[in-house]
Every structure is written in C-alpha cells, then in structure tokens.
Amino acid sequence: MGIYCDRGRYYFVKRVPKRFAHVDPRQKITRCLHTDSRREALARAPAV
C-alpha cells in the first residue's frame, strides 16, 4: 500500500491479494486521489 506522484497528481496503489486473483486479474489497483498536495494525499489514502 502506498502513494506516489505522477505528473503532479497523487495516486494510491495497493496489491491485490493472491486469494482474490481469480476475481481480479490485476496485480495492483491504482486510484487517483485528485490532489497535487502530498499532505492531502496522505489524509485521503486511508479512505480508499
């Protein structure tokens, strides 16, 4: 689980557990946090 910045926007990323691989074939799920502030991204990440 973590956040990263790409082109000025912060994203939340989390690995899909292996036990759910048959449901969702992606290895990672990435969600945009719709902010350019690291502080705001850290506050929003737990809600995702």
Check residue 1 and give its pLDDT. Answer: 77
Question: Within 13 Å and on the Cβ side, how many CA atoms surround 9?
Answer: 9
Check residue 42 and give its pLDDT. Answer: 95
List, for residues 3-42, the tens digit of each pLDDT value: 999 999 999 999 999 999 899 899 999 999 999 999 999 9
Q: Which long-range contacts (CB under 8 A, 24 or more apart) does 28-35 make?
A: 33/3, 33/9, 34/9, 35/9, 35/10
- CA geometry: angle 2, 12, 34, nearest 5 deg: 140
Query: Distance between CA atoms of 25 and 33, rounded to whole angstroms?
Result: 23
